[in-house]
Amino acid sequence: MSEIRTAVPEHRDPGDGRIPHVPGFARRTATGTTDSPKKNGKELRRQVPRSAHKELSLPSGRPDAVRAVEESSRDRVPELAPIRVGRMTAGPFAFLRGSAGLMAHDLVGSPVTGIAAQICGDAHAANFGLYGDARGGLVIDLNDFDETVVGPWEWDLKRLATSLVLAGREVGADEDICRAAAFDTAGAYRRTMRLLARLPALDAWNAIADEELVSHTDARDLIGTLERVSEKARNNTSARFAARSTEAVTDAEGGGRRFVDAPPVLRRVSDAEAAAVAASLGPYLDTISEDRRPLLARHAVHDVAFRVVGTGSVGTRSYVVLLLDHRGEPLVLQVKEARPSALLPHLPDVGFTAQEPGHEGRRVVLGQKRMQVVSDNLLGWTTVQGRPFQVRQFRNRKGSVDPAALTTDQLDDYGRMTGALLARAHAHSADPRLIAGYCGKNEELDEAIAAFAVAYADRTTADHADLVAAVRDGRIAAEQGV
């Protein structure tokens, strides 16, 4: 993972020389210095006016919807491509979910400040949700990091705001409400970054606890929805998945349990493929915290199956691994292929240096840990038959709000909540004082992001229509309802 650098200049050490600067820590500054990250952020407004973020300038040679989908499907499991296309044709919001690379291509023509942060890369509204912490409590945060890279924070914010416009249109909200949701998303991001900039660094790192999130973002219309999602998430466990998806094996067959075929979503794999996945869990143990290894040592690997994953990831190789403890209680791990980020080819075009290639599973895991307040304590990475994979708990009390099923009066609440969570995630790698200095006190940036979001939502709607037409004309295959 590349080192994250920000636009903060180095300062001369004002000390007496007794304690030199320690690499990896901030440099000491003289009391009363006029130079500060906040001031540097304000200076960036001269180079990149906040109003400029409303611009949508599509680059030449832009691929059409069909070519973009086909290019993003390269090196995926070929027989799953129609499922991915079918899911993307469900609506413009679904198309956006599956086209992170196309949006990155389009964002190359938009202004960036050059402030680097660990970004999600796919920060649409459906990639936030609940999951369990080590003690069984529920946390709400970003929860998908397949595309994470060090890049421009603006790209995440614009993708999130656009997704709110598309979700609003899907539930029948009028254009004023959709635009207001995008506006409120950007406003919550800006205000949260300003709050974090004012706090001591340690307090800012852990700020906005989940129990404070609703009041901080004035999202009271969401309370009922969040309570229902939380209740459902508490029951979304490995045990319940295993109860539905496995069967008992007779003692003559070795005992224990095994997965049951449920094509095309879940299917058993060959003995050789299962053995390769199981063997990869040995190296995986070296990537997790040493104190967690005794927990896994009390489980035995019983079976492996292939399971189709979400819209943007359909076609990637993804396995579920069934582990049982001494009482036969299950723990299911997901071993999911980690492909290079779809954003990576476009970063040099906006002034970000090309990032060194490495293990893609490691990139995903470290990016996730950089952005979340609390991460899965069994999160790690491995290699299966030469391909990089990430490993995580499956059905770890995960739950999510469906943005396209919200009522119109909940839409702006959800935008504010996710905008605040995105700011918190970015502030773990980028100095919040720097971004807050750029964003400022007034609503100029909010207006610009909202205008961009509406324009890009229109572009996505047109792309979706093109894909639907291509399916109808037989130019690309699609499998619906999977």
Q: Mention every residue, 6+ apart, whose C-beta is less than 8 A from residue 326.
A: 298
Q: Mention every residue, 6+ apart, whose C-beta is less than 8 A from residue 251.
A: none
The one-digit pLDDT tens for each residue of the chain (482 residues) are 555 655 544 445 555 567 888 898 887 776 544 468 999 999 999 999 999 999 999 988 899 999 999 999 888 998 999 999 999 999 999 999 999 999 999 999 999 999 999 999 999 999 999 998 888 788 899 999 999 999 999 999 999 999 999 999 999 999 999 999 999 999 999 999 999 999 999 999 888 888 889 899 999 999 999 999 999 999 999 999 999 999 999 876 677 899 999 998 999 999 999 999 999 999 999 999 999 999 999 999 999 999 998 777 888 999 999 999 999 999 999 999 999 999 999 999 999 986 777 899 999 999 999 999 999 999 999 999 999 999 999 988 999 999 999 999 999 999 999 999 999 999 999 999 999 999 999 999 999 999 999 999 999 999 999 999 999 999 999 998 77
Reported pTM? 0.93
Of 316, 341, 277, 274, the closest CA to residue 83 belongs to 316
- E strands, 192-324, are 246-248, 257-259, 266-268, 300-307, 318-324
Q: What is the DSSP string of 240-267?
A: HHHHHHEEE--GGGTSSEEE--BTTTEE
**Positive or negative, the Cα torsion across 199, 205, 211, 215?**
positive
8 A C-beta contact, residue 159 and residue 152: no
